[in-house]
């Protein structure tokens, strides 16, 4: 099967609409297809990766722990737009630590999250074959 | 060219499903190939046969069904998204113990793998959404 570069662009807040949850479901299913997968978080999408989310009072499912499993699904390229973080008074320390084990480096645990500028993100987008916006 | 189409919004509420339809129909008229139309999020609501829009308005699900019949276009609803929103084919309805199905002709229920496969097979995957 052909391998393509897939980028999932997450633009919406994690709760209040279903886009974030259903985007994550696509990413997990897609892992079985062994494509070259990257995730981008921009605009309110950066809130999807916030630590200590609690949806108890919303009565909706808190699916945020699932992001921590992405490393096990070989999803290790997670790009977060720096400008979107800054606009919301956030920095990388506010985000969940997401890691993967690098098979080319004796399974060393490495950081999956890369905070990138809009220019760098534009370059990443330019390199993709398939872009899915959620 | 081979196009894959992803429809992420419901009919009537949002322009996305209209735009997806017009794009798909125009691409077929121009001789392009449509690998698959995949419906996700509220987009699965495009596949109900129980919609009764006013007579002076377009009938969005019938329009998709007619396109599928004329051009053998695959119209796929994501099973997980469809089940959440009450879009069921005969088998799903029976399995879930429901008294009716509501799938419009030409639509089928399948998994998200069909979306990824469309991305792999197509030259371009076009996303219609918010």
- Summarised one tens digit per residue, pLDDT across range B7-18 is 999 999 999 999
Phi, psi of B77 (to 5 degrees): -100, 135
Predicted confidence band at B29 (pLDDT cuts at 50, 70, 90)? Answer: very high
B78 is catalytic: yes
Helix (H) or strand (E) holding B113: helix B113-121
Helix (H) or strand (E) holding B83: helix B79-85
User: Among residues of chain B, what percentage have pLDDT more than 90?
Assistant: 99
Is the confidence metric ipTM above 0.90 for this complex? no
State the Cα–Cα distance between residues B74 and B68, nearest whole angstrom.
7
List, in order of start, the domains of chain B with CATH numbers. Answer: 2-128 (3.40.1260.10)
Q: Exactly one of B25, B35, B76, B78 is catalytic; which is it? A: B78
Nearest to A79 by CA among A34, A122, A109, A134: A122
- pLDDT value, residue B28: 98
Query: How many domains is chain A built from?
Result: 1
Task: State mean pLDDT over A105-109.
Answer: 93
pLDDT digits (tens, 9 = 90+) for A35-91: 999 999 999 999 999 999 999 999 898 999 999 999 999 999 999 999 999 999 999
Question: Concatenated DSSP letters for A6-47?
Answer: EEEEE-S-SSSSSHHHHHHHHHHHHGGG--EEEEEE-GGGGG
Task: State mean pLDDT over A112-117.
Answer: 97
pLDDT digits (tens, 9 = 90+) for A3-32: 999 999 999 999 999 999 999 999 999 888
Task: State mean pLDDT over B55-69.
Answer: 97
Residue among A19, A29, A133 minimizing CB distance to B116: A29
How is residue A14 written in tokens? Answer: 């994690």
A99: domain CATH number is 3.40.1260.10
- Tokens 């019938």 label which residue? B62
Predicted confidence band at A1 (pLDDT cuts at 50, 70, 90)? Answer: low
With 0-12 / 13-18 / 19 or more C-beta atoms within 10 angstroms meaning exposed / middle / buried, residue B31 is exposed
Task: State mean pLDDT over A120-124.
Answer: 98
State the Cα–Cα distance between residues A19 and A39, nearest whole angstrom.
14
| pTM across the whole model | 0.92
Q: Which residues of B lie inside 8 Å of A (Cβ-Cβ)?
A: 6, 8, 40-41, 80-81, 111-113, 115-117, 119-120, 125, 127, 129
User: Among residues of chain B, what percentage have pLDDT more than 70?
Assistant: 100
Q: Is the pLDDT of residue A2 over 80?
A: no
* Best residue in A2, A132, A133 for a mutation probing chain B (most B CBs within 10 Å): A132
Average pLDDT, chain B: 97
Bridge partner list, A41:
A10, A80
How is residue B105 written in tokens? Answer: 């002709």
Rounded to whole angstroms, what are the CA distances from B54 to B12, B57, B58, B60?
A: 11, 5, 8, 11
Phi, psi of B26 (to 5 degrees): -65, -40
Q: Is the pLDDT of residue A96 over 90?
A: yes
Predicted confidence band at B23 (pLDDT cuts at 50, 70, 90)? Answer: very high
- Tokens 């392009």 label which residue? B32
Structural domain for A51, as ranges:
5-133
């Amino acid at each position: 099967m052909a391998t393509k570069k897939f980028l999932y662009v997450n633009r919406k807040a994690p709760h209040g609409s279903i886009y974030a949850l259903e985007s994550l479901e696509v990413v997990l299913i897609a892992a079985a297809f062994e494509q070259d997968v990257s995730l981008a978080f921009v605009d309110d999408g950066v809130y999807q990766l916030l630590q200590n989310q609690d949806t108890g009072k919303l009565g909706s499912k808190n699916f945020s722990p699932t992001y921590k499993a992405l490393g096990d699904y070989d999803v290790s390229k997670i790009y977060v737009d720096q400008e979107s973080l800054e606009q919301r008074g956030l920095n990388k320390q506010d985000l969940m630590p997401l890691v993967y084990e690098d098979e080319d480096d004796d399974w060393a645990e490495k950081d999956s999250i890369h905070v990138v500028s809009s220019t760098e993100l534009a370059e990443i987008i330019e390199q993709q074959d398939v872009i899915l916006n959620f | 060219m081979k196009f894959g189409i992803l429809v992420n919004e419901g009919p009537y509420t949002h322009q996305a499903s209209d735009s997806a339809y017009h794009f798909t129909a125009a691409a077929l008229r121009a001789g392009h190939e449509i690998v698959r139309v995949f419906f996700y999020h509220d987009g699965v609501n495009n596949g109900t046969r129980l919609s009764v829009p006013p007579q002076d308005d377009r009938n969005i699900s019938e329009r998709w069904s007619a396109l599928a019949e004329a051009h053998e276009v695959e119209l796929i609803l994501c099973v997980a998204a469809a089940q959440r929103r009450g879009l069921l084919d005969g088998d799903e309805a029976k399995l879930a113990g429901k008294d009716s199905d509501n799938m419009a002709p030409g639509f089928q229920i399948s998994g998200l793998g069909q979306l990824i496969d469309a991305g792999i097979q197509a030259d371009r995957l076009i996303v219609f959404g918010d």
